[in-house]
């Protein structure tokens, strides 16, 4: 399915299995307006026509739209911009020297792959992006579904000299960078929902999952997983538990290579500012993009209780500041869940 959305762990998803090894090479041949016959595709890949037919069936099961015309063959009516490291580097320009971009076909999770690279001593600035995730992870044990060509899912490794306790607010810095990059790519009304969601007019466009490793006093390795919906299938609302939207539905560009480059450029600038002045240096700018600012919300706590209040801002350490009936409260990400009490979150103010 073309999706990069979260759902409860009890939902059965056909994508959570290994795909045919010929799937990606076959689909890469079907871009453009021209049809390719099963015979031509089989010849190009060195497989049988039966294999090609099986691949087409599997592609459709995964939510890929494949057009078939008798006597002409197959084509993709909406071919994705396949991920390409050279195209990303070209779009990054001078900033390309700060990143090493690696494109993979199928992975369980780009965060899982990156954690393995961290253990092997990978350098700061490594980026792992995948065409297909079969077991992506979100916050609080939720699945993160990402489909073939319909999402941009990637993970960035950044190494810090300080310990994890000194990195409070980093997820908000990442969210801010993502929102700015999305806006630059034509997405209207995009903003950040504390602590790690990207929303467009109240609907989820993307999300962030950060995992930290390191000693108390440093250094730290931070694994930053990011996913965006690029083109969702029409039936996706039936299997998720929240309103969702994709780049195609926001007027934004669907060029995933250009989007990846834009996000990495904003991340480089944001992380530089964070390393110099912490989240406090970016708190005011974050508040301008925060869709829950000045909104009445419900905070769900790990023990099952909830608290109502109004968001007044974010603290220099990234904590959410909320006025409640019992007085001002501070909340940190962790296992806390936050939602607006009524209506869609407002659009961010002019940045």
339 is catalytic: yes
At 27 the three-state DSSP class reads: helix
The DSSP H or E segment spanning 39 is helix 38-45
Residues 251 and 187 sit within 8 Å (Cβ to Cβ):
yes
139 is catalytic: yes
Environment class of 215 (CB within 10 Å of its CB; exposed 0-12, middle 13-18, buried 19+): exposed
Identified catalytic residue from 49, 159, 339, 346: 339
49 is catalytic: no
Q: What are the tokens at 28? A: 């890469």
Identified catalytic residue from 75, 139, 293, 295: 139
Identified catalytic residue from 137, 142, 204, 293: 204
Full DSSP string of 212-253: EEE-TTS-EEEEEEEEEESS--TTGGGT-SS-B--HHHHT--
Please state, in angstroms and rounded to a whole number, the distance separating the CA atoms of residues 66 and 184. 31
Residues 295 and 120 sit within 8 Å (Cβ to Cβ):
no
Place of tokens 């489909």: 147
Counting other chains too, the contacts that 232-238 makes at CB distance below 8 Å and 24 or more residues apart are 232/2, 232/3, 232/5, 232/150, 233/1, 233/2, 233/3, 233/63, 233/65, 233/147, 233/150, 236/1, 236/2, 236/3, 236/5
Active-site residue list:
139, 204, 339
């Amino acid at each position: 399915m073309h999706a990069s959305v979260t759902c409860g762990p009890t939902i059965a998803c056909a994508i959570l299995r290994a795909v045919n090894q010929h799937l990606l090479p076959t689909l890469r041949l079907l871009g453009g307006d021209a049809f390719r016959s099963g015979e031509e595709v089989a010849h190009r890949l060195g497989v049988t026509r039966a294999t090609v037919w099986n691949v087409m069936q599997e592609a459709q099961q995964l939510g890929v739209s494949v057009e078939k015309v008798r006597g002409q063959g197959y084509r993709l009516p909406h071919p994705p911009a396949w991920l390409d490291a050279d195209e990303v580097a070209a779009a990054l320009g001078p900033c390309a020297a700060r990143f090493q971009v690696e494109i993979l076909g199928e992975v369980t999770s780009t965060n899982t792959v990156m954690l393995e690279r961290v253990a092997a001593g990978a350098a700061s600035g490594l980026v792992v992006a995948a065409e297909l995730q079969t077991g992506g992870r979100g916050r609080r044990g939720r699945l993160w579904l990402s489909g073939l060509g319909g999402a941009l899912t990637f993970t960035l490794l950044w190494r810090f000299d300080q310990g994890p306790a000194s990195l409070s607010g980093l997820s908000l810095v990442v969210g801010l960078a993502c929102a700015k990059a999305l806006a630059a790519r034509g997405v209207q009304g995009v903003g950040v929902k504390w602590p790690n969601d990207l929303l467009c007019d109240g609907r989820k466009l993307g999300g962030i999952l950060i995992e930290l490793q390191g000693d108390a006093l440093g250094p730290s390795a931070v694994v930053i997983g990011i996913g965006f919906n690029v083109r969702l299938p029409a039936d996706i609302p039936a299997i998720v538990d929240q309103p969702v939207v994709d780049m195609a539905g926001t007027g934004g560009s669907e060029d995933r290579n250009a989007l990846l480059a834009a996000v990495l450029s904003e991340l480089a600038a944001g992380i530089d500012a964070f390393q110099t002045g912490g989240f406090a240096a970016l708190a005011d700018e974050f508040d301008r993009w925060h869709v829950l600012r000045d909104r009445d919300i419900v905070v769900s706590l790990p023990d099952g209780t909830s608290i109502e209040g109004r968001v007044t801002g974010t603290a220099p350490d990234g904590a959410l500041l909320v006025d409640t009936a019992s007085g001002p409260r501070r909340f940190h990400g962790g296992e806390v869940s936050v939602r607006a009490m009524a209506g869609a979150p407002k659009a961010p103010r002019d940045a």
